Amino acid sequence: MQVKDIETKKDWDDFVLTLQPNTFLQSWQWKQVQELDGEHVSMLGFYDHNKLVSACLVILVHAKRGNYYLVPHGPIVKDEKEYKSVIQDLVIYVKAKSYKLKARPVALRIAPLIETPDTDRSIFYQLGFRNAPMHVHAELTWMLDIAKPEEELLQGMRKTTRHAVSKAEKEGVQVEIIPDVSALERFWPLYDQTRSRHEFIPFSKQFMQSQAEIFGASHAMFFAIAIHEGKDIAGAMCMQFGNTVFYYHGASVKTSVPAAQLLQWRAILEAKKRGAVRYNFWGIAPERSDAPRSLWRSGARHHPFEGITVFKKGFGGYAINYMHAQDLPLSWRYWPMWAVEMFRKKKRGF
């Protein structure tokens, strides 16, 4: 199999957008976002007898704990039977490339978009991969089929969620849909308050602005802002790739008005207007029976996503459980990075 750079957005989209599932993390726009953030990105095509069978966005991440290659939600393959060969050739390609760099990357990290981890994990183990200390992107996600009529979507909600939507409307909550980066100036104060309340590590404003600008230029981004009594009280930033809209960033202030439920409903309706058939709520917490015992032991803190999970599931839908991120160590320097990330994992409660 030949591995070559794909040089144009059209060639990339002509392949990736014909396949399922859609993921904006393997989009040309995500390449541009990462490059604005100072990272080097390769858009690789895997060819079998000159026929493109797989595409893979690879980011060379620069980090204090060690540089590493990252494949977010990829590679994308046309036929699952090709997956093993693609991973094997990707490893050969990355190892050869890493030897030419002065600051040699310490690992190849792949966050696969594979829904059957028990079946496919052997592909990675046979090549020397191991479970990464932490997830990279959402691995357990909540998905809603929005091709259904509006009334059916409303009926599919939990009763309390449907009631909250109605209550917010009666209390005068308005939701604005803004497909422009300028809305970041309204979203950011809400996001900053949410960060302070929940103590998570936020994206930088500059990085979020790059996302809004790049996806917005392709008409593939919108903000939803909920207003009550003249004040912004909740917000969402959504991205679209193909026929899926992703609820990627959310924010709110403490209030007795259920604005967040109405905001999500309006974002779902906007996604439908844009021709999407799926709305991806992004990450949720595992069921207690599926989570590591250390998370739920007596006196332990709850999973960081537990509260938002109840909220997201209220809209109806189903869970998709993707395989955990896999690391291939490329240097002994991988182990200090592993130790740092294990410490951060425990500190954050995952």
Per the CB < 8 A criterion, the answer to whether 24 and 30 are in contact is yes
Q: Domain 140-321: give its CATH architecture.
A: 3-Layer(aba) Sandwich (3.40)
Q: How far apart are CA 165 and CA 92, in angstroms?
A: 52
Asked if 224 and 238 touch (Cβ cutoff 8 Å), the reply is yes
User: Which of 290, 298, 236, 289 lies closest to 262 in space, CA to CA?
Assistant: 236
**Domain limits of the chain?**
2-137+323-348, 140-321
Using alpha carbons, list the distances in angstroms from residue 151 to 155, 156, 183, 260, 262. 6, 9, 30, 20, 15
The C-alpha atoms of residue 131 and residue 327 are separated, in whole angstroms, by 6
Task: Print pLDDT tens along the chain (350 aa).
Answer: 899 999 999 999 999 999 887 899 999 999 999 999 999 999 999 999 999 999 999 999 998 888 999 999 999 999 888 999 999 999 999 999 988 887 889 999 999 988 865 556 788 999 999 999 988 888 899 999 999 999 999 999 999 999 999 999 999 999 999 999 999 999 999 999 887 676 666 789 999 999 999 999 999 999 999 999 999 999 999 999 999 999 999 999 888 899 999 999 999 999 999 999 999 999 898 876 444 444 444 444 466 667 789 999 999 999 999 999 999 999 999 999 999 888 887 776 66
E strand or H helix that includes residue 88: helix 83-98
Helix (H) or strand (E) holding 327: strand 326-329
Establish whether domains 2-137+323-348 and 140-321 are of one fold. Answer: yes
Distance CA 159, CA 172 (A): 20
CATH superfamily, domain 2-137+323-348, is Gcn5-related N-acetyltransferase (GNAT) (3.40.630.30)
Are 225 and 176 in contact, with CB atoms under 8 Å apart?
Answer: yes
What is the helix, strand, coil percentage profile of the chain, to 5?
40, 25, 35
